[in-house]
Structure 1
Amino acid sequence: MNVMKANLLPRAMAPSSVSTRNLILLLRRKPKASPLIFFSRQYSASISTHIVGDSPILVRDFIHKALYDPKHGYFSQRSESVGILDKSIKFNQLEGRKAYTKHLNRIYKQSGISWFTPVELFKPWYGHGIAEAILRTADLSTPLNIYEIGGGSGTCAKGILDYMKLNAPSRVYEHMKYTSVEISTALAAKQIETVGGVSSHASKFKVECRDAADWSGWGEVNDQPCWVIMLEVLDNLPHDLIYSASQASPWMEVWVERQPQRSELSELYRPLQDPLIIHCMEILDMAGSGLDSASKLSLMAKSVWAKVFPRPRRCWLPTGCLKLLEVLHRALPKMSLVASDFSYLPDIRIPGDRAPLVSTKRDGSSSDYDNYLEAKGDADIFFPTDFWLLERMDHYCSGWKMMQQQDKSAKKGKKRRTIMLDTSAFMEEFGLPSKTRTKDGYNPLLDDFKNTKFYLSVPTHNIK
């Protein structure tokens, strides 16, 4: 849980007696456009000048600053709010949903913490499920090497190391390495403290305090098999925004600028030129070049209809995720990946495909923003994960999609084998559901995570 984690759905894990929307918060305009000139939309918000200076910045840079600026970012100001339970919850001793709700409320009241992550609420069982998935899938003939991006308080790392010590062949535990890549110095120190509680783990665990998306921090390419874990990381990665005045108009990059003589922000539209945005659009095939004839005819029909009833379009692009995957595949070409995140978020007020939820907490109650520009270091900005797109980006970054375009014979085999599972399905397959079940059969780990999924991706060698 590095820079990019802290306040999401599973984080607070309120029982489903409340609405799905409250569960997430607990647990966590028609300008004309032309490609030849720049436009500024009156979509403004009062904000600190620390986030945006005199020059316009891309939306992804605005989000990164609003969340991670060392002095004014949301997570920088709230790193100590990540909850750590003194002891595991004894679910088998709770009568049911009502008792779980009461117990959870008592924990929050006593701790004064804003949120708990699922790996914390369901420790050690959540981490054990991930460890079992790795143990079943990994090639144990080579030393087990695990990287965790954004390890939070270190609970996942400790859970996995504990499980390997108790259940893996002794040689696997003795020779394994576990590296946490953590951008927060405070959380890095906490991880060392948490994992160091078991003396035998110390020689196997280390923290590298850096940004995982920065290629320079990885050093030389590691071509040995390894695992990468990302729990609730993708939702807080910066996204870009593109805008089109109508279905028939070209897409434009969205930039954020500060209004002269005012402390307000507005959007600025520019022709597409950023390489990362363009690359992400190519992967989505937004130009339709990879569509079959029927799909192209459908697009043509929509284009004609758009001229009659034009309407603006907004689309959020996971460019932060794309950049991270590009770096990981370059630095760790034989990595296996396990990621968990939201598959959808309800009641989003921000317009656009894959739009984020922007939420803050005041006087103990959550409040959502209608405008992402209002986030000025006091609000969480988190996105649903499009798992189909995640898989597509994973294949592209592994090099297979590009090879497929250049050599049609590459269609006979992929460089990655992938699977997407609901959290309940993942835990039923790899975890111990009986350990998180209450007396009457209610299981918060299985019942309260309907909008989260796991993504597993491993390298294969069946390319022909």
Structure 2
Amino acid sequence: MLRRALSTSPTLSSAISTNNLLFRDYIQRSLYDPVGGYFTRGQSPVLGHETKINLCELQSRAAYEKAVAATYASASHGWMTPVELFSPFLSRAVAHRIHAVNRDESKVNIIEIGGGRGTLAADILAHWSEVAPDFLRRVRYNLIEVSPALAKVQSENLRHWVNLGTAKVHNVDARIWFQSLSSDAQQSEEMRSTPCHVVAMEVLDNLPHDLLRLGAGSVEQAVAILSENPPSDSTAIMLEWRSELDETTSAAVKAFDLLRSDENDHFISQQRDPSFLSRARVSFENMLTGGKRDLWVPTASYQLLKAISSSLSHAGMTISDFNSFPGALPGENAPVVQRVQQGSTVVYESVTAAPFGKVDIMFPTNFHALQRCHNSFAGNGVSENSYLYRILSQEKFFEEHSSEASINATTCKDGYNPVLQDFENASFLLVDKTSKVSAG
């Protein structure tokens, strides 16, 4: 299933000024601008379940799809994550994973980036209160949320745990929060001396990227040129191509090793389709770009991983996101850009054609490249640790970390299990220090 992104926010062209912006900066403003950003405006785009879908009571896959469709039909905007859709069972699998690698610690800091409506945190803490109360007493759960609207929802939904001092919501960009640990001696010492586990569920897909155009022996970087007087329903921007890469983009390309020739690990490998239609599309794209190809660079993900490695190099990680999207734009690691209009989903042909602040811009994650990026910090002085990495499909992760009761509770009467079979494009990256794994 493709995560559905629907939005009906008014355009606020005053939220951006006439300027020449690196593409990641334009995307950052479109998604997170305090005035008119998609995630930071007043109404949260993340849907929750007022009434949970009891999967085990559904007759079939068709009944499940009908129930999901009814949930979306009842909402005027927004989308639902697997965590929301499969609450509390997918959350319990994450809880089991964190507990398994930290159960012997005297204190554990959980740091969840982009906690949505707080559902994952609420499910995890409630689960530990039932099955591992001694462990729960040793846990401090931090949610790092850039959106004021979502931070407010999280605080409300986690009020019980916040009042107990178990959970705390920080309304700040995660990159800034991790960087701030270095300047706050007391907080830094507490975090550095305590086992930490970072959780990011569907965060990387909405982190800004830069756009490169690759030709024979040439690399150009896109700069967004913003119009001073954009139309009422859009932000008129043009692209300018520059032959010099900025320092962050260049470092990200190197850390992710995006220009490697090995097709098995190259970004395009996850999206490569040998079908006739796929080959025809590539040929058509080459005609439009003069034989050049576009490459989207996850620069914000690079900045985030660097900030985490610099401040908490000992942290374990559980990261989940989508490894591909149907209907993505042309290019490698290209996003899907879409919104709702009069009850229907509208997919845009480019980021530049989409109205500012009204669309969800979702990038696929190449998990092998993500692993290379994280591991690159271990060899450049940022971290002296060595890590064990595992990349799993959502199906394998849920099977490994769920009880038989959870699997039965998420299986329809005809044997169809949507947690295992629906989101085939969702993956997990698990990161542990090797000493931690061998000790466990």
TM-score range normalised by the length of the shorter chain: 0.7 to 0.9
Percentage of matched positions with identical amino acids: 30
Structure 2 CA distance for aligned equivalents of residues 51 and 372 of structure 1 = 17
Structure 1 CA distance for aligned equivalents of residues 432 and 291 of structure 2 = 41
Segments of 5+ residues of structure 2 without an aligned counterpart are 263-285
- CA RMSD in angstroms, aligned pairs only: 2.9
Within 5 Å, give how 1:54-133 maps onto structure 2: 54-77=18-41, 79-112=43-76, 114-133=78-97
Q: Which moved more, 1:364-373 or 1:315-324?
A: 364-373
Letter in 2 for 1:439: K
TM-score normalised by the chain length of structure 2: 0.82
Whether the aligned pair in 2 keeps the contact of 1:27 and 1:117 (CA below 8 Å) is: no
Q: Call closer, same or farther: CA 1:165–1:91 in 2, change over 3 Å.
A: same
Structure 1 CA distance for aligned equivalents of residues 309 and 334 of structure 2 = 27
Structure 1 residue 351 corresponds to structure 2 residue 330: yes
Partner residue, 1:163: 127
Whether the aligned pair in 2 keeps the contact of 1:230 and 1:339 (CA below 8 Å) is: yes
Aligned counterpart for 2:157 among listed residues 187, 194, 197? 194
Q: Which moved more, 1:227-236 or 1:310-319?
A: 310-319
Partner residue, 1:178: 141
Within 5 Å, give how 1:134-283 maps onto structure 2: 134-138=98-102, 140-168=104-132, 170-197=133-160, 202-214=164-176, 215-218=178-181, 219-220=184-185, 221=188, 222-223=191-192, 224-244=194-214, 246-248=215-217, 250-258=218-226, 264-283=236-255
Partner residue, 1:299: none
Which SS does the other structure have where 1:370 is aligned? coil
Whether the aligned pair in 1 keeps the contact of 2:42 and 2:149 (CA below 8 Å) is: no
Whether the aligned pair in 2 keeps the contact of 1:387 and 1:420 (CA below 8 Å) is: yes
Q: Call closer, same or farther: CA 1:272–1:333 in 2, change over 3 Å.
A: same
TM-score normalised by the chain length of structure 1: 0.78
Which SS does the other structure have where 1:77 is aligned? coil
Partner residue, 2:282: none
Q: How far does the alpha carbon of each residue in 1:314-346 deviate from its partner, in whole angstroms, 9 at most, with x for none?
A: 211000100011111112121111011001111
Tell me how far 1:238 sits from its aligned partner.
0.3
Q: Call closer, same or farther: CA 1:383–1:134 in 2, change over 3 Å.
A: same
Tell me how far 1:87 sits from its aligned partner.
3.8
Partner residue, 1:311: 291
Partner residue, 2:320: 340
Tell me how far 1:426 sits from its aligned partner.
0.5
Whether the aligned pair in 2 keeps the contact of 1:128 and 1:159 (CA below 8 Å) is: yes
Aligned counterpart for 2:374 among listed residues 394, 398, 419? 394
Q: How far does the alpha carbon of each residue in 1:160-208 deviate from its partner, in whole angstroms, 9 at most, with x for none?
A: 111211222x431112110111122222222122123569x73211111
Q: Which moved more, 1:427-436 or 1:260-269?
A: 260-269
Aligned counterpart for 1:427 among listed residues 377, 382, 398? 398
Structure 2 CA distance for aligned equivalents of residues 143 and 75 of structure 1 = 33
Which SS does the other structure have where 1:251 is aligned? strand
Q: How far does the alpha carbon of each residue in 1:3-49 deviate from its partner, in whole angstroms, 9 at most, with x for none?
A: xxxxxxxxxxxxxxxxx5xx443799xxxxxxxxxxxxxxxxxx975
Q: Call closer, same or farther: CA 1:27–1:387 in 2, change over 3 Å.
A: farther
Whether the aligned pair in 1 keeps the contact of 2:4 and 2:79 (CA below 8 Å) is: no
Partner residue, 2:270: none
Letter in 1 for 2:219: W
Whether the aligned pair in 2 keeps the contact of 1:195 and 1:202 (CA below 8 Å) is: no
Aligned counterpart for 2:389 among listed residues 398, 418, 436? 418
Tell me how far 1:122 sits from its aligned partner.
1.2
Q: Call closer, same or farther: CA 1:154–1:259 in 2, change over 3 Å.
A: closer
Q: Call closer, same or farther: CA 1:265–1:430 in 2, change over 3 Å.
A: same
Structure 1 CA distance for aligned equivalents of residues 180 and 152 of structure 2 = 19
Query: Bigger radius of gyration, 1 or 2?
Result: 1
Tell me how far 1:103 sits from its aligned partner.
2.5
Whether the aligned pair in 2 keeps the contact of 1:251 and 1:271 (CA below 8 Å) is: yes
Structure 2 CA distance for aligned equivalents of residues 243 and 454 of structure 1 = 29
Structure 1 CA distance for aligned equivalents of residues 259 and 72 of structure 2 = 48
Which SS does the other structure have where 1:320 is aligned? helix
Structure 2 CA distance for aligned equivalents of residues 417 and 269 of structure 1 = 39
Tell me how far 1:121 sits from its aligned partner.
1.6
Whether the aligned pair in 2 keeps the contact of 1:52 and 1:257 (CA below 8 Å) is: no
Partner residue, 1:459: 433
